[in-house]
């Protein structure tokens, strides 16, 4: 159902204190716009207003208000639930964006009944909220987040999907460690250790440094990155995957790359 922006109420500043990039003063023209994207966060004020943090194509992460969205006749249903993908119709006011209507495209409803998968998707959501700059377009990461969710929906293994998501996100920013060459000497690598410097060959890595990966484990890491999106779940299914511990270890190491930038 549509929300008339002319009838919107004043939003108290305190309502949006935990959402980055709320107001803007860039002098751009007011008006209507349509953007596709996903709901990253949602808060409901005591007055029944929804405060949304959306990750949108062409806009990046932005705060959007939906006055009265949880009460009365102005409702958006599942379109304002976190992790819901939709086409959002917005009205840009003098200081804020307001949601007028939304058309759901993907809700990942079946994942919400799988605790391990929805927890993994929420972890990625939190990482996006923490590390993306508000109102800076990042369409390649937006598309990556969508397809990573689709991998989980297709029953790919969550740990392998996570490695692929984090590595490709870092690659978008030019920060991904190369699984092909040693970050120390530049030589091609078979077995290696993953450190904050990158993958290091046995000659360059110190004893006990980083996550130790065998040649076979490195081959699997590379295969998971090069696999076509449509074949990914079949190559790395949620059940029957051996050696899960090294996937968890490399994912933990990749998270440190993001923390190092904070």
**Integer Cα distance of 185 and 178 in angstroms:** 12
Bridge partner list, 192: 213
**Integer Cα distance of 199 and 217 in angstroms:** 13
**Integer Cα distance of 212 and 26 in angstroms:** 49
Residue 172 has what pLDDT? 95
Helix (H) or strand (E) holding 163: helix 158-172
Helix-helix angle 158-172:115-131, to 10 degrees? 20
Q: Which CATH fold would you assign to the domain 5-106?
A: OB fold (Dihydrolipoamide Acetyltransferase, E2P) (2.40.50)
Per-position DSSP letters for 197-260, written without gaps between them: TEEE-TTTSPTT-SEEE-HHHHHHHHHHHHS-HHHHHHHSBSSS---HHHHHHHHHHHHHHHHH
Tell me the Cα Rg of the chain. Answer: 21
Residue 87 has what pLDDT? 96
> How do the domains of the chain map onto residue ranges?
5-106, 154-261
Whole-structure pTM value: 0.87
Distances (CA, A) of 122 to 141, 251, 255: 16, 15, 15
Residue 206 has what pLDDT? 86
| Of residues 30, 100, 43, 35, the one with CA closest to residue 70 | 43
Residue 73 has what pLDDT? 57
Provide the CA 203 distance to its chain's centre, in angstroms. Answer: 36
- Residue whose pair of structure tokens reads 């999106």 in the numeric block: 229
CB atoms closer than 10 angstroms to residue 46: 7
- Residue whose pair of structure tokens reads 């990482």 in the numeric block: 127
Residue 23 has what pLDDT? 55
Provide the CA 157 distance to its chain's centre, in angstroms. Answer: 17
Mean pLDDT per 10-residue segment, the chain (262 residues):
44 47 58 95 86 96 86 73 95 89 92 91 96 96 97 95 98 96 96 94 87 93 95 91 84 91 68
């Amino acid at each position: 159902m549509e929300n008339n922006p002319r009838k919107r109420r004043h939003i108290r500043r305190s309502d949006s204190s935990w959402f980055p990039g709320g107001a803007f003063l860039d002098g751009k023209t007011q008006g209507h716009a349509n953007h596709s994207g996903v709901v990253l966060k949602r808060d409901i004020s005591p007055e029944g207003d929804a405060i949304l943090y959306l990750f949108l194509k062409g806009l990046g992460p932005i705060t959007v208000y939906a006055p009265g969205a949880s009460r009365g006749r102005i409702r958006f249903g599942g379109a304002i639930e976190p992790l819901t993908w939709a086409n959002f119709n917005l009205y840009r006011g003098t200081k804020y964006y307001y949601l007028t209507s939304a058309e759901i495209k993907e809700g990942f409803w079946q994942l919400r009944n799988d605790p391990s998968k929805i927890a993994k998707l929420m972890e990625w959501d939190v990482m996006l909220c923490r590390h993306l700059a508000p109102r800076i377009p990042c369409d390649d990461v937006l598309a990556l987040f969508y397809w990573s969710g689709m991998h989980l929906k297709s029953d790919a293994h969550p740990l392998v999907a996570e490695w692929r998501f984090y590595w490709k996100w870092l690659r978008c920013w030019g920060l991904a460690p190369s699984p092909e060459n040693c970050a120390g000497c530049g030589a091609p690598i078979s077995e290696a250790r993953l450190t904050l410097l990158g993958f290091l060959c046995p000659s360059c890595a110190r004893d006990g440094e980083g996550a130790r990966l065998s040649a076979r484990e490195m081959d699997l890491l590379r295969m998971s990155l090069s696999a076509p999106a449509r074949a990914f779940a079949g190559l790395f299914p949620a059940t029957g995957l051996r050696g899960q511990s090294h996937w968890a270890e490399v994912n933990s190491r990749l998270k440190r790359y993001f923390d190092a930038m904070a």
